[in-house]
């Protein structure tokens, strides 16, 4: 699970964002689904294949309720690249929920539909694959009348028209606007609309934009009380320039020191030993950094599944706290 996946889910779990997505994409902006009528549901389910149990996880799912009665279950699936097999994946998610409704404890309860929205976040190409299960199958002509189809709902966020994007009222509009601008102009200019879920939207936009040193940027954003995308991207650009200048100074100092060392060496043998030691140390550091990055990525995935955004942020800024969590989840021996 990469940073985009984690941060998209963290934002969409908020009821106001979830309801906004459903209302705009399904009901053209009409406030049909009220955020207060949504309740969370577990996103994991089990599937038995060839005698083995396999888990399958939705990205985000919520019940839409009237009093204590389920009206529907809505599920969101985020995709940054098109997936030809998406109809098969969705029928697995939806089928698991329908199967729950025939269990003995639910047998006489009111039955409800399961609706999955596939949110395609790519902006460099369209979703080119069919939304129909039948189009994936090689079916004998004699069998076609008896094979049930299953169609999925795919929404290409970057390819929505401007009027549709402006219907979003939650922080999701900022993500949709970013994708739209990147598709149409290959650049992004943030506006001054206030952000409600500051940490989530800033982390998501950082992941989408590829910003480095995101924890420091968010920390400074809080200190300066930045509350809109225009201010955040200006801050990110400022920090990027500062880091570039510092990197230039560091590389200049290192190059000067290395030149001085090289000129001061008298014997090629000594030079060979020195380079060998440095290469060995650098290789060790590189491998250590890679292993550390893998552990932190796995930790972020675990915390995201638990919905612990505060822990994710603290773990990425507090080394001692991060090590405690790595040990707690047995990622660090």
Residues 250-278 pLDDT 10s:
554 455 455 555 555 555 545 555 555 56
Residue 213 reports pLDDT greater than 70: no
SS3 sequence, 37-81? HEEECCCEEEEEECCEEEEEECCEEEEEEECCEEEEEEEEEEECC
From the list 204, 120, 128, the residue with the least C-alpha distance to 160 is: 120
pLDDT of residue 6: 73
pLDDT of residue 314: 72
pLDDT of residue 147: 96
pLDDT of residue 257: 52
Angle at alpha carbon of residue 197, lines to 194 and 201, rounded to 5°: 90
Q: How far apart are CA 13 and CA 299, in angstroms?
A: 19
Q: How far apart are CA 199 and CA 7, in angstroms?
A: 10
Q: Helices (DSSP H) in the chain: which residue ranges?
A: 3-12, 15-27, 86-100, 162-165, 172-185, 198-209, 214-223, 229-264, 268-306, 309-315, 319-328
pLDDT of residue 249: 44
Cβ atoms of 123 and 110 within 8 Å: the answer is no
pLDDT of residue 57: 77
Condensed to tens digits (0 to 9), the pLDDT of residues 28-42 reads 999 999 999 999 987
Q: Check residue 225 and give left, alpha or beta (phi > 0: left; psi -120 to 50: alpha).
A: left
Cβ atoms of 100 and 106 within 8 Å: the answer is yes
Cβ atoms of 35 and 183 within 8 Å: the answer is no
From the list 63, 75, 150, the residue with the least C-alpha distance to 110 is: 63
Higher pLDDT, 89 or 235: 89
pLDDT of residue 12: 93
Contacts of 87 (CB under 8 A, 6+ apart): 130, 131, 132, 133, 136, 150, 151, 152
| Mean pLDDT over the full length of the chain | 80
Q: How far apart are CA 118 and CA 17, in angstroms?
A: 15
pLDDT of residue 53: 44
Q: pLDDT confidence of 282, banded at 50, 70, 90? A: low
- Segment 171-188 shows an average pLDDT of 94
Average the pLDDT over each of 8-12, 72-76, 88-92, 166-170 and give the range with the smallest value. Answer: 8-12
CA dihedral 217, 219, 223, 225 (to 10 degrees): 70
- Segment 100-106 shows an average pLDDT of 93
What are the residues facing 228 on neighbouring strands? Answer: 194
Backbone angles phi, psi at 291, to 5 degrees: -65, -40
From the list 261, 256, 282, 257, the residue with the least C-alpha distance to 271 is: 261
Q: How far apart are CA 138 and CA 144, in angstroms?
A: 10
The number of CA neighbours under 13 Å toward the Cβ of 279 is: 6
Higher pLDDT, 105 or 243: 105
Residue 197 reports pLDDT greater than 80: yes
Q: How far apart are CA 202 and CA 215, in angstroms?
A: 10
The number of CA neighbours under 13 Å toward the Cβ of 138 is: 0
Q: What pTM, to 2 d.p., does this model score? A: 0.70
Residue 43 reports pLDDT greater than 80: no
Backbone angles phi, psi at 43, to 5 degrees: -100, -5
CA dihedral 10, 15, 16, 19 (to 10 degrees): 110
pLDDT of residue 310: 67
Residue 46 reports pLDDT greater than 50: no
């Amino acid at each position: 699970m990469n940073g985009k996946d984690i941060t998209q889910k963290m934002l969409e779990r908020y009821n106001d964002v979830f309801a906004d997505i459903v209302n705009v994409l399904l009901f053209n902006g009409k406030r049909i689904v009220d955020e207060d009528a949504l309740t969370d549901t577990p996103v994991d389910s089990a599937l038995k294949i060839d005698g083995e149990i396999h888990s399958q996880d939705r990205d985000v799912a919520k019940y839409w309720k009237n009093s204590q009665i389920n009206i529907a279950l809505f599920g969101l699936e985020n995709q940054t690249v098109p997936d030809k097999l998406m109809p098969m994946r969705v029928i697995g998610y939806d089928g698991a929920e329908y199967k729950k409704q025939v269990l003995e404890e639910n047998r006489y309860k009111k039955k409800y539909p399961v609706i999955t929205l596939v949110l395609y976040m790519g902006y460099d190409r369209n979703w080119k694959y069919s939304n129909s299960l039948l189009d994936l199958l090689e079916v004998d002509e004699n069998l076609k009348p008896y094979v049930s189809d299953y169609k999925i709902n795919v929404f290409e966020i970057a390819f929505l028209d401007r009027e549709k994007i402006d219907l979003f009222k939650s922080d999701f509009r900022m993500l949709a606007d970013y994708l739209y601008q990147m598709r149409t102009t290959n650049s992004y200019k943030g506006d001054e609309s206030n952000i409600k879920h500051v940490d989530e939207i800033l982390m998501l936009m950082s992941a989408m934009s590829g910003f480095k040193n995101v924890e420091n940027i968010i920390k400074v954003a809080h200190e300066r009380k930045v509350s809109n995308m225009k201010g955040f991207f200006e801050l990110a650009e400022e920090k990027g320039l500062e880091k570039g200048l510092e990197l230039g100074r560091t590389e200049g100092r290192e190059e000067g020191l290395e030149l001085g060392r090289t000129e001061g060496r008298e014997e090629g043998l000594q030079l060979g030993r020195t380079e060998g030691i440095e290469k060995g140390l650098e290789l060790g550091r590189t491998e250590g950094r890679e292993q550390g990055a893998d552990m932190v990525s796995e930790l972020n995935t675990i915390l995201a599944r638990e919905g612990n955004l505060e822990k994710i942020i603290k773990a990425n800024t507090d080394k001692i706290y991060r090590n405690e969590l790595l040990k707690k989840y047995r990622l660090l021996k």
